[in-house]
Amino acid sequence: MAEALPALLYLPALAGPGTQVDLDAAEAHYVARVCRARAGERLEATDGRGARATLRLVTVRGGVRVEVEAVRHEPLARPAWVLCGAPEGERADWLVEKLAELGVTRFQPVDTARGAWRRAADRRERWERLAVAALRQSRRVHRMAILEPTPLDRALAGLPAGCGRWLADADGLPVPGTTAGQGLPGVGLIGPSGGLDGGERDAALEAGFRPIRLADARLRAETAALAWAAWWASGDPSTP
């Protein structure tokens, strides 16, 4: 298929074949001005919930209108969740962007004894924008869910049985092969910049998290998160 745009369009209200949609101002600008697409050209879009649609550009005069030609749903084969303690300063924006790019499915900020997510509410809107931008740029069709910060114990208690669990830990073992129940998430747990305290670490181990060493040195919180995500992303999707 001739692909007129380098990035996917993000259309959260994407409907079935035959329907027409008027793009909002930002998407219209991207199509008509940035990419200079022309009527008749084909574009791809996602709803961020697994649908990848082929669109035909109906008009670029005035507003930009597209018609949905085909939609296929791509199942989430290898979900990845990240539970993450608070990094220092302004590093969370970058973290959100990178995790979304690396295909993390769910980003769960966790409050711990040595680190609380104080500004998560203020950053929410920006994080959602970054996650959507990363989705479009990486041409993924599953938008990263950004959850409200929650205490670590509650996050641990809420995990599905049987999912793979790893704890980023400078004293852990080298990363083993990625294994998890088919379709279940692998979960990486990363402490805040001050580290988990003893009780929290025990709770994580009790909850089945295996300490793994992502590098041969200490990593900052957001880097450990990135490293875990990168390791997970590098696994062969056919052998989860």
| Residue 89 in the binding site for a copy of itself (CB under 8 A) | no
Region near a copy of itself per CB under 8 A, out of 13-21, 143-151, 203-211, 212-220 = 212-220
List 23, 66, 92, 98, residue binding a copy of itself (CB under 8 A):
98
Q: What are phi and psi of 146, to 5 degrees?
A: -110, 115
Q: Which stretch binds a copy of itself (CB under 8 A): 27-35, 39-47, 134-142, 143-151?
A: 134-142
Asked whether 185 and 145 are in contact (CB, 8 A), the reply is no
Could you identify the residue written with the tokens 């692998």?
186
3-state DSSP assignment of residue 75? coil
| Minimum distance of a copy of itself from residue 89's CB (angstroms) | 12
If one asks whether residue 233 binds a copy of itself (CB under 8 A), the answer comes out as yes
Calpha distance 230→213 (Å, rounded): 13
Contacts of 51 (CB under 8 A, 6+ apart): 14, 71, 72, 73, 74, 141
Q: How far is the CB of 239 from a copy of itself (least distance, A)?
A: 9
Q: Is 237 in the site for a copy of itself (CB under 8 A)?
A: yes
Structure tokens, 59: 């008009």
Residues in contact with a copy of itself by CB under 8 A are 78, 94, 98, 101-103, 137-140, 174-175, 213-220, 223, 226-231, 233-237
